[in-house]
Chain A
Amino acid sequence: MLYYLTKRLGLSVVVICLVVLLLFSLLHLIPGDPATIALGPRATPEAIARYAEKMHLDEPVWRQFLIYIGNAATGDLGLDVFSDRPVTAIILERIGFTLALVAAGMGWAMLLGIPLGCLAAVKPNSWLDRVTGVLSVGTIAVPSFLVSIWALLIFAVHLRWLPAIGAGEPGDLGDQLAHLVLPAFAIGLSWVGYLARMVRASMLEVMGENYIRSARAFGLRPRRVIFGYALRVAILPTITLIGMGFGGMISSTVFAEIIFARPGIGKLIFDAVMARNFPIVQGAVLVATGLYILVVLFSDILIAWFDPRVRESL
């Protein structure tokens, strides 16, 4: 297990380096002078020179990359070009909002999607299975930004039941939760469908296994057979899906954070790209990539913990 973890962490470092390299290349491939774009077309030469110096723009790209990787290894992600604040501090201010949104979005999707998938598999071809199937495909097909806009128009603008913008009053948990409902609904909706379909398919496969038939033959109660034996095995591919889903949701939050004017990593990256605020873009993408890798790693460990066959093969 220790060898497995070391190997995975080593690979993660390589992946992060590749991501930063790719990001560096992409940022420098964007047409136009970064200083002019960031500071406006009529910025003074002094301001442009100061920006270029701060960003090391006069250095070759490979050298900029090495400087950045060297600093990042010591936890220094640089300074915000405009406010001179440490990028790490800015990211730490926002990341909690994104994690809360992703957790809430995936949380409610899991709470609804997994039981729906189980019930559909237990009674295949029943009305519940058919309704679940239609709803699943429907929710998967609708993009989250569209759900965000509809949710905002219906529940905030028309009905005025829920707040439209922001993350809520600092220190007021109730208000913060209220502000979380619509964005979490928007980004989680398609995952209800994904999870329900995945759990149903896995459960149907597992329910046909010999050990399930044996358990039934021994006279175990159906609930015990389904949740104690079948779901425990059927959930394994779903855990992988959820792990990857967390990563995917970090990018889905961009739309939700912009539409609902919520602070977060996605909106931070979007704003920074628009302003060519390279240190923020690089730092935030680095952190988002790290998070993604960690979540996937965690889901792999969880699978190993659940499934002795995987554990023994490590």
Chain B
Amino acid sequence: MKQIGTTRRGFLGTTAAFGALSLTPAWTTAAFAQVGGTLRLRIDGDNDVLDPGYMVGGTEVEAQKQCLPFLAEYIQEGDTFTWRPTYYVTKLEQRDPTHIDFELVEGLMWSNGYGMLKASDVKFSFERMKDSDWSGYFEALDHVEVTGDLTGTIVLNKPFAPFQMVTLCHGPGAIVCEQAVKDAGGRFTTQFPAVCGPYTYEATPGQRAVFTANPEWTGPKPAFDRVECNVITEVKAAELAYDAGELDCTELGSDTLARYLKEMPADTAVTTAGELQYMWMGMNTEHPKLQDIRVRRAIQHAVDVDTILQGAYSGTTAKSHGIICPGLLGQRQESGFSYDPAKAKALLDEAGVSGLSLTLRTLNVQERMLAAQIIQANLAAVGITVTVLPVDSGPFWEMGQESKGDTWKELELWIMRYGTTPDPYEATQWFVSDQVGIWNWERWTDEEFDRLYQEGIKETDEAKRRDIYLRMQQIMEDTGAYVWINHEPEAYAHHVSITINAAPSGELNYRRFTKS
């Protein structure tokens, strides 16, 4: 039997060849990605459900924006987010508080032979949403009246001022092809049954989603013929891929954003889509240790928010003064309290409280853990001992909910962050009286707040709406149950030669990207 043999020379030769092979630059794929009209981006997971009624959200909305019609889209005017009609409509007008008339552009065709985009598609799309997982966005919808092939009226069951911003511009406002969805069995998951937009969609699970120019699209051509969205779960891996030149645009974590802002890499720009997250430290007003408002106010004055913004977020986030985020109607410019340890001590003395010990619960993520440690140090300086309790996401989101156990009774302090849509009404809805024990974990009620919430939904006069939301935040602050912390940005790094477009909540809209 012949034996396999080797010599030292042979071995060294093989090893050298193997090494050289692994280092050969011939496979370099890091050439700048825009060449040839291809844009390379990151998505954080597979698009499992593209159907607007049953989607998870996030990048699925991005896919819908490229392939499906919408009646309205977000724009930014100065520092404020607002909306405008899309290319798909020649008319989108609010006739009165409960009627919105629309007229579709003639001749826009669905793919796969499903014919022209019609008003009946709008009716089908919106009315099916009332029974979907996203029905909350269509609570105010009564029905859609079709008045012609291309015309119709959206009829609301009550005046709802944010309908355009919250419902029509966002993912649930996507219009699907009635016949195609019916042919697909009433809902769809990983493929669109028909598209009517500048791109067609194809995905390789676990690898990427590819948008290619739709040959049947007669509307405005996008700047890029092809968009490749690579599935990269971890934002850090995406940042490295951007550094390696394999992506043209990626979301940034707060530490990388700080690094980029300090020393911007070559040919790179950073764009902030929006800051629609609001974070605060909450206090349970019903807890025996925190029932005295002087104790809660003492805590408000004891926390040094500026240090949190620097220490935990490297100065990359906007300081918060309430729950209404930057760019939205009703954002406050300052809080009614400031960092003042002497005042905090005086308030504690006035309340006759000493040796107070509290538990601060937070999600076990890096930035919030750092924020919790800073708060711990701040409160220790005024004589309050704080135990930081990091909690996994599962139990964290159940802590204040009465239906999920008894933890709500033990809640004292916690760091919370909510996200919102670009209208002030959504941020306020979690603090009305009937949310106590659900999402109002601070457990206060206020009749004026509840009344203003209803008024804010109906009010269409911007000045009056602004006043309503400013007053609502004042009521919240006066409970002493909140220490406003920050609004985290949705920041993207991208090549300087492209201008990106993103919704205020961070979803990219590739069809509105431009080459500069």
Binding site for B on A (CB under 8 A): 30-34, 36-37, 39-41, 43-44, 46-47, 80, 82-85, 90, 93-94, 97, 108, 111-112, 115, 119, 152-153, 155-157, 159-167, 170, 174-175, 177-178, 181, 185, 223-224, 227-228, 258-261, 263-264, 267-268, 270-271
Contacts and interface: CB of A to CB of B under 8 A. Distances in A.
B5 A223 contact: yes
Contact of A111 (B3, B18, B204, B398): B18
B398 A32 contact: yes
Contacts of B46: 83
B17 to A, nearest CB: 11
A261 B230 contact: yes
Given A85-B189, A157-B243, A174-B27, A185 B22 contact: yes
B112 interface: no
Contacts of B351: none
Tell me if B's interface is mostly helix, strand, loop or mixed.
Answer: loop
Interface in B24-40: 24-25, 27-30
Contacts of B208: 166
Contact of A163 (B11, B231, B246): B246
A228 B3 CA distance: 6
Given A36-B397, A160-B30, A185-B22, A259 B237 contact: yes
Tell me if A's interface is mostly helix, strand, loop or mixed.
Answer: helix
Contact of A164 (B7, B241, B394): B241
A26 to B, nearest CB: 14
A164 B246 contact: yes
Contact of A32 (B15, B234, B392): B392
Contacts of B398: 32-33, 36
B463 interface: no
Contacts of A264: 206
The 6 A-B pairs with the shortest beta carbon distances in the complex, nearest first, are: A32-B394, A263-B206, A178-B27, A82-B48, A83-B48, A164-B244
A80 to B, nearest CB: 7
A261 B28 contact: no
A33 B244 contact: no
A153 B24 CA distance: 17
A219 to B, nearest CB: 16
A32 B48 contact: no
Given A30-B394, A108-B18, A268-B206, A163 B29 contact: yes
27 contacts: A31-B392, A32-B393, A32-B394, A34-B394, A37-B393, A37-B397, A41-B397, A46-B135, A83-B48, A83-B189, A83-B190, A108-B18, A111-B18, A156-B246, A157-B244, A161-B23, A164-B244, A167-B207, A178-B27, A178-B29, A185-B22, A223-B5, A258-B237, A261-B232, A261-B233, A261-B234, A264-B206
In this complex, the member of B14, B54, B206, B395 whose beta carbon has the largest number of chain A beta carbons within 10 angstroms is B206
Contacts of A37: 393-394, 397
Nearest to B4: A227
Given A83-B190, A175-B27, A33 B404 contact: yes
B397 to A, nearest CB: 4
B10 to A, nearest CB: 9
Contacts of A175: 27, 29
B133 interface: yes
A157 B18 CA distance: 22
B244 A82 contact: no
A103 B240 CA distance: 26
Contact of A156 (B30, B189, B206, B234): B30
A44 B244 contact: no
A260 B232 CA distance: 8
Given A115-B6, A227-B6, A271 B207 contact: no
B204 A258 contact: no
Interface in B362-395: 392-395
A46 B234 CA distance: 30
Interface string B196-209: 00000000111110
B45 interface: yes
Given A156-B246, A261-B232, A270-B233, 8 more contacts: A31-B394, A36-B398, A115-B6, A161-B28, A170-B204, A170-B207, A174-B27, A267-B233
B85 interface: no
B136 interface: yes
Contacts of B29: 163, 175, 178
A36 to B, nearest CB: 6
A162 B133 contact: no
Contacts of A153: 240
